[in-house]
Amino acid sequence: MVADLSIFEHNLVMKTDSAQNAGSTLFRARVDAAHLEKARRVLDRLGMTPGDAVNVFFAQVALRKDLPFVVTANPQRLQSEQEQAKAWDNALGEY
């Protein structure tokens, strides 16, 4: 099990000048290597690093004083594109 884990160590600061980096903290976490690789591919497409993503996540937690998504053992079924379009039309009206 430990062999499947990767140490994710990144300076959790957006790419900015060194004056803003003065308040940064080094954060280390053990993550599943396969999850990290899949996440990196998505983040690359978004132009983000794993550290950027963690910074965004922590900023949202601080802003909301909660997780920015629901954690549940009983997730709702995802909607089809048609169901989602109908829900948007019902909520916002046609545009």
> Is residue 34 over pLDDT 90?
yes
Q: Determine which of 16-25, 63-72, 74-83 has the lowest per-residue pLDDT on average.
A: 16-25
The CB density around residue 90, as the number of other CB atoms within 10 Å, is: 9
Q: pTM to 2 decimals?
A: 0.58
CB 46 within 8 A of CB 17: no
Q: Cα separation of 36 and 29, whole Å?
A: 11
Six token digits for residue 54: 């963690």
Parallel, antiparallel, or unpaired: how do β-strands 5-11 and 26-32 relate? Answer: antiparallel
Confidence of residue 20 (pLDDT cuts 50, 70, 90): low
CB 12 within 8 A of CB 27: yes
Q: How far is CA 44 from the centre of its chain?
A: 13
CB 5 within 8 A of CB 31: yes
